[in-house]
Chains A and B, each alone.
Chain A
Amino acid sequence: MTAANLLSDRRAILLLGLLAALAAAPLAAGDYALSILITVLLQAYLGMAWNVMMGFAGQFSLGHALYVGLGAYAGGALFAHFGTPPLVGALAGMVVSAVAGSIIGTLGFRFKVMGVYFALLTIAFAEFTRVLFDHWNWVGASSGLFLPVSHSVNDDFWNLRGSATMFYYVILGMAAAAFLFSRALLGRRIGYYWQAIREDQDAADALGIDVFRAKMVAVIISASMTSLGGLFIAFYNNNLYPESIFSMHRSIELMLGTIIGGIGTLFGPILGAVALTALGEALTVIGAHIGIDGVKQIAYGVCLMVILAFRPGGLWPWLRHRLRLDGGRR
């Protein structure tokens, strides 16, 4: 018992140290470093959102760009047209994403569309929505939606208009909240139900769990969390194109960090985001030296395959073991 406490203390200290370092980072980091850190934290945040559905509940979504796009457009369009504060836009985006997730969930889970077929269903919805937004003039259709830029030098948090440093703290807060939220979910009844369903749905069903309901809760939470990431992207980039925000490429990128870091673990999405971004940046630098186009993509792919071949469970379960943080499994 005391050993377990010590262990969780060590983990808490490591986490707090990491958080303190991240909180202080803007003091030392230049513009470039800050933008990289924002990329990492955004990737980690979205990875954690996807992890709730895939990692905890075992439901494979290959179309999470749908919720990114809905969250981005809900917040972005309301702000561009009516000046609606992003917090209200965030709520709207979460509701729309939750509804979209419920529709996909109902179709998939009621009619027992499983595994790969369920993943295909999620892609179909993302693609369909992309085409819809491509033709919807109110949101700028295929030529894009642009958010009005403020010319004030002061950060305006409530309208999410301001410096990279402000955006950095916003996404740091979101990532920290997502981590704590995920941890709380796993420790509750619903977390146990999800994991049981992930491991063996039939056995979970036989224990009296309302499997349909538990899976719906996973989709709705995951979709809502993801849509908040979309809202961040909209306000950080100031422009939105259906072609990129709803893209299949984004759906894949979003889950890659979690897969590399460790699906179903709490820290995997964060570690994976760091590893992926570091790898991408390193290869860009090396690629610039060699001066051959396309080397980066190939090297990136090869690195991912090597990692997954040697650490199929992801990097975190292995690193956790190395750091002797194994006591409480996650």
Chain B
Amino acid sequence: MSGPMLSVENLGKSFRGLRAVNAVEFQVPRGDIVALIGPNGAGKTTTFNLIAGAFPPSDGRVTLDGADITGLDQARICRAGIGRTFQIVKPFAGLTVEENVMVGALRHDGGDVEKARKAANDILDLLELGDKALQPAQTLTLPDRKRLEVAKALATRPKLLLLDEVMAGLRPVECDRMVAILTGLNKEHGLTILLIEHVMRAVMALSDHVVVLHHGEKIAEGTPAEVTSHPKVLECYLGEDHG
């Protein structure tokens, strides 16, 4: 199939009076890494939630791999091929790290538990969490919990991975490791990725394309170099900083 992996058209969401997302349009080409950036409260996580089906959009359309998925619930959208992480991590605290990842894997291979365990451990090795597999998830540090979020989403075997600030709180070295891991997933497994990120060094290193949101609207898009020199983008970031 050709055409983009994800296409978002005229997407909008109102929370009571507040217009959190307004007329947002962008595409994620197959096999690309696209970054969604913008100041705090710009509507990035809300856009993710609309794509992943946490709640339905007020208006607009979301298409995954040519299929209209607008308004489907989260579980169906996951089964359609979107794996997501939560900005505020949601580990299954009482389960082990391995079991956390097995849950997503169990939808495959006819629910075979041992195959799911094997798949989970492969993913944990990839994310350098292998030696913590048997620990309860509640004992993990925040950076490890972020990695666990990625591992859980990957276990569902997504076509498109949505990552909401998985670099936040990571030290520069850890951040570079994560960049390397994501690059590997993208290059070797052809995984398409849409990520929200504040850490600009990660955005610059990873993304083919960047979409910038501000006050719920798209104000710019282009290559990393293009958007970082775009006057509107500079204005909104600097404007925030200077009050």
Contact = CB atoms under 8 A, between A and B. Distances in A.
B107 A202 contact: no
A151 interface: no
A210 B75 contact: yes
Given A188-B111, A207-B103, A208-B104, A195 B92 contact: yes
B106 A193 contact: yes
Among B76, B91, B92, the most chain A Cβ lie within 10 Å of the Cβ of B92
A200 B94 CA distance: 10
A136 interface: no
Contacts of A202: 54, 74, 90
A208 B92 contact: no
B103 A209 contact: yes
How large, as a class, is the contact surface on chain B?
A: 20 to 34
A200 B90 contact: yes
A196 B95 contact: yes
B43 to A, nearest CB: 20
Given A187-B113, A207-B78, A208-B107, A200 B96 contact: no
Contacts of A203: 86, 90-92, 152
A264 B92 CA distance: 14
Contact of B92 (A188, A200, A205, A211): A200
A329 interface: yes
A329 B153 CA distance: 25
A203 B155 CA distance: 13
A45 to B, nearest CB: 25
Contacts of B103: 192-193, 196, 204, 207, 209
- Please classify the interface of chain A as helix (H, G, I), strand (E, B), loop, or mixed, using the class held by over half of its residues: helix
B75 A211 contact: yes
B52 interface: yes
A156 interface: no
B111 A208 contact: no
A155 B111 CA distance: 44
Given A196-B103, A199-B93, A200-B92, A206 B78 contact: yes
Interface in A203-230: 203-211
Contacts of A324: none
Interface in B73-132: 73-76, 78-79, 84, 86, 90-96, 99, 102-104, 106-107, 111, 113, 116
Nearest to B101: A207
Contacts of B73: 205
A210 B106 CA distance: 12
Contacts of A192: 99, 102-103, 106, 113, 116
A209 B103 CA distance: 9
How large, as a class, is the contact surface on chain A?
A: 20 to 34
A135 B156 CA distance: 53
A110 interface: no
B48 to A, nearest CB: 11
A208 B156 contact: yes
A322 interface: no
A188 B93 CA distance: 19
B151 to A, nearest CB: 11
A189 interface: yes
A265 B243 CA distance: 54
B95 A207 contact: no
Contacts of B99: 192, 195
Contacts of A205: 73-75
B122 to A, nearest CB: 17
A189 B106 contact: yes
A217 to B, nearest CB: 13
A189 B105 CA distance: 10
Nearest to A327: B134
B60 to A, nearest CB: 21
A207 B113 contact: no
A211 B155 CA distance: 18
Contacts of A193: 103, 106
Given A188-B111, A193-B103, A206 B84 contact: yes
Interface in A159-210: 187-189, 192-193, 195-196, 198-200, 202-210
Contacts of A264: 94
B112 to A, nearest CB: 8
A211 B152 CA distance: 17
Contacts of B113: 187-189, 192
A209 B96 CA distance: 18
B134 to A, nearest CB: 9
Given A195-B92, A202-B74, 5 more contacts: A196-B103, A205-B73, A206-B90, A207-B75, A207-B156
Closest 10 CB pairs of A and B: A208-B78, A189-B111, A199-B92, A203-B90, A207-B104, A196-B103, A208-B79, A189-B106, A205-B74, A206-B74
Interface of A: 187-189, 192-193, 195-196, 198-200, 202-211, 264, 329
27 contacts: A188-B113, A192-B99, A192-B102, A192-B103, A192-B116, A193-B103, A193-B106, A199-B91, A199-B93, A199-B95, A200-B91, A200-B92, A202-B54, A202-B90, A203-B86, A203-B92, A205-B73, A206-B54, A206-B74, A207-B104, A207-B107, A207-B155, A208-B76, A208-B79, A208-B107, A264-B94, A329-B96
